[in-house]
A and B are shown apart, each in its own frame.
Chain A
Amino acid sequence: MVEWTEFERTTIQDIFSKMNYDVVGQQSLARCLVVYPWTQRYFGNFGNLYNAAAIMGNPMVAAHGRVVLHGLDKAVKNMDNIKAAYAELSVLHSEKLHVDPDNFRLLGDCLTVVVAAQLGAAFTPEVQAAFQKFLAVVISSLQRQYH
């Protein structure tokens, strides 16, 4: 089982309680689609993803970014059993959505960049380490039900 220090727990709760899910969700997903363009293949029905400006302004991207970020709430509220919390979502991504599990890491990286840009110097190395550890656990849990 994953062990969390007090600092790590506090850091994660702190970051997410102050987060604007609408902005961060939209930014993270949009960045993923811009920086790793092959990920656009999962969003064929999202309309115009033709360039960075189109992606940034796309309302379906914004809405879906929000959905994904709220999905992270499960982990924030269940840090001591993220694996179980994501069992169903993992099955969904594998068997229904057919998402290559590599993409979880790409989205995690984009989310980290967005949070870093927002927090600036407050995103210290220790905070970064805690945040990346949290995301690594989330990603591992989402990958777990793939066969």
Chain B
Amino acid sequence: MVEWSDSERNTIASVWGKINVDEIGPQTLARVLIVYPWTQRYFGSFGNLSSASAILGNPKVANHGKTVLNALDKAVKNLDGIKGTYSELSQLHCDKLNVDPDNFRLLADCLTIVVATAFGSAFNPAVQATWQKFLSVVVAALSSRYF
């Protein structure tokens, strides 16, 4: 099981508490689609993804970004049982959505970058380390039902 120090728990709660999910979710997903364009293949029904500005202005991207970020709340509130928490979501992504689990890491990377742009120097190395540890546990949990 993953061990969290008190300081890590505080850091995660603190960062999450300051994040505006409705803003950060859309930005994160948009960046994934722009920086790693092959990920657009999962969103064939989203309409116009033909340029960075189209992606940034696309309401379906924005909505879906919010959905994804809101789902991270589960993990923040269940640090001691992230794997169990995401068991169903993992199966969904594997069996129904057929998402290559590599993409979870890409999304996590973009989220880290968005958090860094929002927090500036407050996103210091210790905070970064804790945040990346949290996201890698989430990524592992989401990948856990893939065979």
Size class of the B contact interface (CB-based, 8 Å): 20 to 34
Stretch at the interface among A8-16, A62-70, A76-84, A121-129: A121-129
Assess the B128–A34 pair: CB atoms within 8 A: yes
Q: A109-B109, A112-B113 are in contact. Are A117 and B123 (CB under 8 A)?
A: yes
Question: A34's contact among B34, B52, B120, B125, by CB below 8 Å, is which?
Answer: B125
Tally of contact residues, A, Cβ under 8 A: 25
Assess the B132–A35 pair: CB atoms within 8 A: yes
User: Which of B31, B56, B119, B125 is most buried by chain A, counting CB atoms within 10 A of its CB?
Assistant: B125
B30-64 vs A, CB cutoff 8 Å, 1 = contact: the mask equals: 11001100000000000000001001100000000
Report A-chain residues with C-beta under 8 Å of the C-beta of B27.
Answer: 125
CB interface residues, B 44-93, toward A, < 8 Å:
52, 55-56
Is B13 positioned at the interface, with any CB of A under 8 Å from its CB? no
Q: Roughly how many angstroms separate A117 CA and B124 CA in the complex, as a whole number?
A: 9
Question: B125's contact among A55, A112, A118, A125, by CB below 8 Å, is which?
Answer: A55
How many residue pairs at the A-B interface have CB separations less than 8 Å?
62
Question: B116's contact among A35, A117, A125, by CB below 8 Å, is which?
Answer: A117
Is B126 positioned at the interface, with any CB of A under 8 Å from its CB? yes
Q: A125-B31, A128-B31, A132-B35 are in contact. Are A117 and B121 (CB under 8 A)?
A: yes
Interface residues of B, Cβ cutoff 8 Å to A: 27, 30-31, 34-35, 52, 55-56, 109, 112-113, 116-121, 123, 125-126, 128-129, 132
A-B contact pairs, 26 of them (CB 8 A): A30-B125, A31-B129, A35-B132, A55-B125, A56-B125, A113-B112, A113-B123, A114-B116, A116-B113, A116-B116, A117-B119, A119-B117, A125-B27, A125-B30, A125-B31, A125-B34, A125-B52, A126-B52, A128-B31, A128-B34, A128-B35, A128-B113, A129-B34, A129-B35, A129-B52, A132-B35
